[in-house]
Amino acid sequence: MTSKRAWWVGAVSTLLVLLLLGLAPAGAQNAGSTRLQNVDANDSPMYHRTYDSHRFSPLAQINKSNVKDLSVAWVHQPGAVVQGLESTPVVVDGVLYYIGSYNRVFALDGATGREIWHYFAKLDPVVNTLFFQPYNRGVAVGHGKVIFGTLDGRVIALDMKTGKELWAVTVLNTKKCSCNFTGAPLIVKDKVILGQTSGELPIQGKIWALHVANGEKAWEFNTIKNDQKSWGGDSGKFGGGGGWMTGSYDPALNLVYWGTANPAPDYDWGQARPGDNLYTSSVLALNPDNGDLKWHFQEIPHDDWDYDAGLGESLVLDRDGKKLLVHQNKSGFVFVYDRTNGKLQNAWPMNHVYNWVQRVDPKTGELIGRNPPRLGKPAFICPWIAGGRSWNSGSYSPKTGLWYNTAMEVCEEVTVEKQTPVTEPAAGLFFGGDQVAKHPPSGEAYGHLDARDPVTGERKWTFEMTDVTDSGILTTASDLLFTGGREGYFQAVDARIASLSARFLTAATPAVAASELQNIAKEMTTAAKTETRTERILPPVERGELLEIPIELAISGEIAQIVDLLERIERTPKLLRVNELKVRVMNVSQPKELLATMMVSGFIRPAKTKT
């Protein structure tokens, strides 16, 4: 389902906005179902911005000529930054809503960064014992409410204007199942839909729909099919699955498309879960009104690698008179469907390096030449458990007709072990093995950003990175592409020719695409014209160069967080320290609002110097 968290040290720890003046007024209005279907150009009211999951901004004020003039407009600190900030902010009428670690929710004035309200969920202490925590990837906004799932199994609705709690319902028995909610919900008409974590747990994961008005359950869909042919013996009782990320919606067909997670145990030592294990590692088309299954396609029958279908986006697009759905599996293969009936149209690989199969039949989806890890000896598998791409999303530009997506070329050594599922007193992790990250056979691990035809897979260009990346992507009407990477850069790339238009060192690892930064802009103003006094973003740094990062030591708690971060970095696999930098922490006086831009990057070592 997800990679082990030690492999993901160093995501963004602050919300950084690279805009200056002329922003939309802060006066949040009711984002109802009509507004969610007809999204204003200045808004970004849901996780993928629009129901089609394109993550495309129709704004063009920031363009290839002035993007180099971007500078920090404001910074907001969520306080608790454990494991970074993985959420994609949403924006409605100039108000930016986002969620941080431990379910801390904020509403900010998009023009100034001024906090309008905040809500800190009071979580059950069981959260500290869970595998999936403390991160959350987003909120849903609609019908005057901000809605999110919690780490202790609840769903909470807040008043958009005040942050006051309107309702809170317990959906999961987290103390028993060890499962929770970490993905952003999706509001469809009068329902809010979200899926739970469960891929590494001996439970049955579900997708849930609640009534937006009061939180009452509308329906649930069990991703573990009640079928002895699909789940031999009693293996279905412990089947895992679930749907931990956010789906897409086609209003014309009235279908929600949702990817499901991997079966449990992740690795099958032989007859651990006989059958194809439906509906895990599948794409589902569900009626949002009642949860009825219209069609399904299992991308990885009897998943032997933890290559679930729950992550990323499902692109809703039309091509040559066909209604298509494009979805990337964690294996790195992309599946193209007729979204009216689920019939496969094509399948093609995003990754350069893979050996888990020889190929996927583009007409049938059959996995040809499977290479599953088994008991007996460690198996070298590509890509790694984090996937060819993980939960971060790509972006489709209707202007260029291209899908912009990232890939990680990293492998692993898998050791399969027999394991008895633990369900009492609470569900325990059910991996069925362990893995160690490895470089690919051809050299060091790396990442790349590709521009491809989403239907044929034809590659137009590649932008290679010196490190792997788990950053999302935003494209715009000015043919710019915004993304980040573990080197610590926030980058603007020409979407047509892959040239680097601008690059900013954030001193942190951008893990979400641009925070939908254009969606709160009414006009572009350069740093030279603004009255805001700000430091320029740190310049690029070469490998091995000593980088001096100012930190305001007087701010309570920050140094403890930095020390903890550095300690965790030392336990991280060396292959992830591709761009090693030495850091000197200096005791200098800096404005508090600039602290976030100076935070220590995710994969660096502290220099042995005195502060």
pLDDT at 604: 28
What was the pLDDT predicted at 356? 98
pTM of the full predicted structure? Answer: 0.83
Task: Among 397-401, 501-505, 509-513, name the one with the lowest average pLDDT.
Answer: 509-513
Q: Residue 522: is its pLDDT beyond 70?
A: no
Measured CA distances, 419 to 175, 376, 428, 432 (Å):
22, 15, 11, 5
**Cβ contact 341:297 at 8 Å:** no
Q: Which residue has the higher pLDDT, 577 or 147?
A: 147
Token pair belonging to 369 = 């030449």
Q: Which residues contact 257 (CB under 8 A, 6 or more apart)?
A: 247, 248, 249, 250, 283, 284, 285, 286, 314, 316, 325, 327, 339
Q: Of 79-93, 144-158, 596-610, which range is least confident?
A: 596-610
pLDDT exceeds 90 at position 509: no
Residue 597: pLDDT over 60: no
**Mean pLDDT, the chain, integer:** 82
Shortest CA distance to 99 belongs to which of 114, 112, 84?
84
Highest mean pLDDT among 248-257, 433-442, 482-491 belongs to 248-257
Distance, in Å, from the CA atom of 7 to the CA atom of 576, rounded to the nearest integer, reads 8
For the chain, which residues make up each domain, given as ranges?
A: 5-516, 541-606
Contact call for residues 426 and 339 (beta carbons, < 8 A)? no
Candidates 3.30.70.1450, 1.10.599.10, 2.140.10.10, 2.60.120.10; correct CATH number of 5-516? 2.140.10.10
CA angle 482, 486, 491 (to 5 degrees): 20
- pLDDT reading at 93 higher than 60: yes
Pairing of strands 395-397, 433-438: unpaired
Q: CB–CB of 232/196 below 8 Å?
A: no
- How many distinct helices (H) and strands (E) make up the chain? 3, 40
Read off the pLDDT band of 464 (50, 70, 90).
Answer: confident
Give me the pLDDT at residue 67, please.
93
User: For residue 14, is pLDDT > 60?
Assistant: no
For this structure, is 306 an active site residue? yes
Residue 450 identity: D
Residue 15: what pLDDT? 64
Q: 80-89, 353-362, 554-563 — which is least confidently predicted? A: 554-563
Which of 152, 306, 308, 467 is the catalytic position? Answer: 306
> What span, in angstroms and rounded, lies between the C-alpha atoms of 5 and 391?
13
The one-letter code for the residue type at 568 is R
Model confidence band, residue 504 (pLDDT cutoffs 50, 70, 90): confident
Q: Do residues 309 and 331 lie in contact, with contact meaning Cβ atoms separated by under 8 Å?
A: no
pLDDT classification of 163: cutoffs 50, 70, 90: very high
Query: Residue 580 burial by CB count (10 A; 0-12/13-18/19+): exposed, middle or buried?
Result: exposed
**Cα–Cα distance measured from residue 61 to residue 19, given in angstroms and rounded to the nearest whole number:** 11
pLDDT digits (tens, 9 = 90+) for 357-387: 999 999 999 999 999 999 989 999 999 999 9
What six digits make up the tokens of 285? Answer: 């088309």
Q: Which pLDDT belongs to residue 582? A: 31
Q: Which of 492, 520, 528, 497 lies closest to 64 in space, CA to CA?
A: 492
Whether residue 396 is predicted with pLDDT greater than 60 in this model: the reply is yes
- Residue 283: pLDDT above 50? yes
- pLDDT interval class at 147 (50, 70, 90): very high
Question: Closest by alpha carbon to 481, among 490, 448, 508?
Answer: 490
Inter-residue contact 158 to 141 (CB < 8 Å): no
Q: 35-67 as b/e, with b when 16 or more CB fall inside 10 Å? A: bbeebeebbbbbbbbbbbbbbbbbbebbbbeeb
- pLDDT at residue 54 greater than cutoff 70: yes
